[in-house]
Amino acid sequence: MFSCPVLTLDWLNVPEGTSILEIAESIRAHEMVGVPVTPAIMENKKEALEATKAIRDMGLKWNMLPWPVDFYQHYVEQDEFDKGIDTLKRWAELGQQMGVKYAFNHVMPSSPKPFDESFDWCVRRIYRVNQVTENNDINYGLEYVGEYDARHAYDNEFVYTLPGIMALGDAAGNGVGFIYDTYHTHCGGRENDDFHLALHNIDRISGVHFSDGMPGKTLEKQKDLTRSYPETTGVVPSASHVSRLLEAGYAGPVLIEPYNPDYFKHLKQISFDQAMAEYSAGFKYAFRREEMADENKAKFLALIRDHFLSANE
């Protein structure tokens, strides 16, 4: 499994001056594979290429290419978009030399613009972004957002399911893929349908994100920033979905997204190495919990109780 820490480095207690190779060592020590690709390293070609050799020697891989601009947000004006494309060209060219293979952007599920106008506007932009990534052998995908509040943030609902995001990609052409996110698929209300659609389009998956929801809440009450580690609350069948995608041949990044404000505060109070240990425990609990020592399993479940369940009662 190409397992990757998704936790943004800004959320973590990373000591000033910590090098990307020190971060990579911690990732390897905790049995993960993907090393974060930061905007800072994309602006330093010499450091990036030197780090690439060392990371390969460790048996690790770079994670996804960062985006310089959130390209499909309605407030991103054309000038900002064009400048972002120029930056993306530089980053994608360097990313290709580094062996970066994946990139993605969100497409938000509501807009001030009417649906048809939003669709055409997004397609034009997706085409230009995908031209850059395709030219540099980077698998580019779009992530749909199924969460109810996001779908009603503006007057006009937009695509929020896998068929919708695939339609956008098809309209832009040139093999645009998608992110399969178990939480957003659950929130979109088409969990079984969309999972089987993903299962039969493995070659278009650019990344897999998985997490669990909050128990006792309807789909409309699930919030984007009240998620838990996979298989800890019994709301989303995330590990079974991910396992079946892997069995079907998916071999790209798999990222856990334990998004929760109380947990973010906790992360600032512990060391980076401790954060990686917790994240690694999340993978083990999702897929190999029968192999976990009772003490480690109890410690992980206490973390869930203290920072996810109790914070959302």
Provide mean pLDDT across the span 279-291.
94
Q: Indicate the average pLDDT of the chain.
A: 94
Q: Which residue has the tokens 């990609």?
A: 169
Tokens of 254: 């798999």
For 26-80, how does the pLDDT look when each residue is reduced to its tens digit (9 = 90+)?
999 999 999 999 999 999 999 999 999 999 999 999 999 999 999 999 999 999 9
Enumerate domains of the chain plus CATH numbers: 2-312 (3.20.20.150)
**pLDDT band (50, 70, 90) for residue 313:** low
The H-assigned helical ranges of the chain are 20-29, 39-42, 45-57, 78-98, 115-135, 148-151, 162-172, 182-187, 191-199, 238-247, 261-269, 272-288, 294-304
**pLDDT band (50, 70, 90) for residue 135:** very high
User: Is the torsion defined by CA of 123, 204, 133, 238 positive or negative?
Assistant: positive
Taking a C-beta distance cutoff of 8 angstroms, is the pair 211, 227 a contact?
Answer: yes
Between the CA atoms of 304, 307, 312 and 313, what dihedral angle is there, to the nearest 10 degrees? 70
pLDDT greater than 80 at residue 312: no
